[in-house]
Structure 1
Amino acid sequence: MTTSAAGVRARASIVARGDGRGGTALPGLEGEGPLAIRRTRGRGAEARVMLVGAMSGPLGGDHFTVSARVARGARLRVGSAGATLALPGQDRAEARYDVRLTVDDDAELLWLPEPLISARGSDLSVTTRVDLAATARLVLREEQVLGRSGEEPGRLTSRLAVWIAGGCVLDQELACGPGAAEGWDGPAGLAGHRAVGQVLLARPEFATDPPTARSWEEGAAVMPLAGPAALVTAVAPDALRLRRLLDAALASLD
């Protein structure tokens, strides 16, 4: 970790591998400063890891990077101990949070962090890049809450790019809050909602039996992608309702 007038630079990395006995080993768990990593009790072949915020942030000017690699034969679930709160820094500079995920053939990753909250005055750019092998399996959840209770949001830019077997199946960006493109909160955008989220599923069987595109209750939809993957998206008035919508739509795919 490094600290300067421009903010904190911190990295965390997770490496999971099959242990040759039907389980998952974690030979690489490294975290710096605000990015602490803790192994928790696994279940069956699945290893579990928790991201723990050891400091406030990201603040303006901070740059956090988290990477995870799941090698052949491994099963890994990653969660977080609490929500991530984006806050303004002293100089109001943009903060960055980069996530890099790689999953090999015959491996599975469940990336299930708690929501990201964009507090008033903050300016955060989140970029998530996912590289999957042809038979990799993935469940990735992103939830964003615009402002704390009764508070206007900060500026939040979120980009998600997903590649499967070297081909891009999804590359999208959402910008919300002050300075975002006009209409982000209008009928063609979030329509006044303050919580937005998505779940990406990658399953080899979707290559021959993709899910059907459909809406799910009010504010949620399921959409097959151009590859063995599907995207569940939802908007809601608050984080609790958003989680319920995403969970219900996800359960409909099982």
Structure 2
Amino acid sequence: MRAAARIRVERRHGRDEVVDRTAEPPFAVRRCGDRIMLAATAASPVGGDELELDVVIGSEATASIGSIGAMLVWPAPTPAVSSMTTTVAVGAGGRLVLAPEPTITVRGSNHRATTRVDLAEEATCELVEEYSLGRSGEAPGTIETSLRVERGGRALFHHDELLGALAEAGSTSVGVGTARHVTTALIVGEVAGDAATSVEAGGMAARLPVDDDAVVLLGVGIDRPTVRRLIDALRSTVAPPVRYG
């Protein structure tokens, strides 16, 4: 199955207006108060599915996008790989908060998640990607992630990772050890502050400045609450915690 969704927000007459929210099943797009929410209308992606999300935030516009529930990645009878490709463009003076619920790799699944973000010079954003490696008590599937953010045509951040079953099997990926939850948060538009780390039983996180006004927060741990707590503690010295979901 191939399916796509598109969200476009423009600043018109002093208001942020959703001028396009086209969606094909299994996607649905809803306006919920001051947020735009993605919902799933069917179990997807299954191995072989190709899903695409295109987000455009116009100049001076602001949008907060989340999801109603986690995305479960399901295996197929064949070894086919499923994919989710997210493409984002934010115009000058625009701001985007993109923080969906986690992607969960069901045992036996094989998934590729690719996010490409193009920021204008004066655009800002908060991007959160979360991956849960298997359901509770379940071995993980495999997920290959790629997040690249450019500002004004120049690379600001690029990170690729292989997580889950293939990484555990001895791939060239560094991997995350026994961690079951992985979070990457990129904040652009706030004073980055200094590099820092935080470690507690069951998890660890790091704050990595990538520019004067851009910082990456990376966290791994035994579960989502542990990782979120570590990420929020490091983030609190930069800006208020992001609104997940």
TM-score normalized by the length of structure 2:
0.91
Q: Match for 2:24: what amino acid?
A: E
What CA distance in whole angstroms lies between the structure 1 residues aligned with 2:184 and 2:151? 18
Residue 248 of structure 1, CA deviation: 2.5
What CA distance in whole angstroms lies between the structure 2 residues aligned with 1:60 and 1:227? 41
Return the match for 1:146 from 129, 133, 140: 133
Whether the 8 Å contact between 2:104 and 2:133 is mirrored in structure 1 is yes
Unaligned regions of 5+ residues in structure 2, if any?
240-245
Whether the 8 Å contact between 2:182 and 2:221 is mirrored in structure 1 is yes
Task: Kindly provide the CA deviation profile for residues 133-172 of structure 1, in whole angstroms up to 9, marking residues without a partner as x.
Answer: 1111100001101011111111110000110111001111
Return the match for 1:194 from 150, 169, 180: 180
Return the match for 1:25 from 13, 17, 24: 17
Listed as ranges, the matches of 1:4-15 within 5 Å are 8-15=1-8
Listed as ranges, the matches of 1:19-168 within 5 Å are 19-21=12-14, 23-42=15-34, 48-168=35-155
What CA distance in whole angstroms lies between the structure 2 residues aligned with 1:167 and 1:145? 31
Whether the 8 Å contact between 2:44 and 2:72 is mirrored in structure 1 is yes
Equivalent in the alignment of 2:238: 253
Unaligned regions of 5+ residues in structure 1, if any?
1-7, 43-47
Residue 173 of structure 1, CA deviation: 0.6
Q: Match for 1:29: what amino acid?
A: R
What CA distance in whole angstroms lies between the structure 1 residues aligned with 2:90 and 2:41? 27
Q: Among the aligned pairs, what percent are the same residue?
A: 32
What CA distance in whole angstroms lies between the structure 2 residues aligned with 1:104 and 1:55? 33
Where does structure 1 differ by over 4 angstroms across 4 or more consecutive aligned residues?
181-186
Listed as ranges, the matches of 1:206-217 within 5 Å are 206=191, 210-217=192-199
Whether the 8 Å contact between 2:196 and 2:234 is mirrored in structure 1 is no
Tell me which moved more, 65-74 or 189-198.
189-198
What CA distance in whole angstroms lies between the structure 1 residues aligned with 2:110 and 2:229? 27
What CA distance in whole angstroms lies between the structure 1 residues aligned with 2:69 and 2:171? 27
Other structure's SS at 1:212 match:
coil
Q: Match for 1:192: what amino acid?
A: T
Other structure's SS at 1:121 match:
coil
CA RMSD after TM alignment? 1.8
Task: Kindly provide the CA deviation profile for residues 195-248 of structure 1, in whole angstroms up to 9, marking residues without a partner as x.
Answer: 111100111x54xxx321111343011001146311000001012222222222
Whether the 8 Å contact between 1:75 and 1:109 is mirrored in structure 2 is yes
Cα distance 1:184–1:226, how it changes in 2: closer, same or farther (>3 A)?
A: farther
Equivalent in the alignment of 2:226: 241
Whether the 8 Å contact between 1:176 and 1:184 is mirrored in structure 2 is no
Cα distance 1:151–1:185, how it changes in 2: closer, same or farther (>3 A)?
A: farther
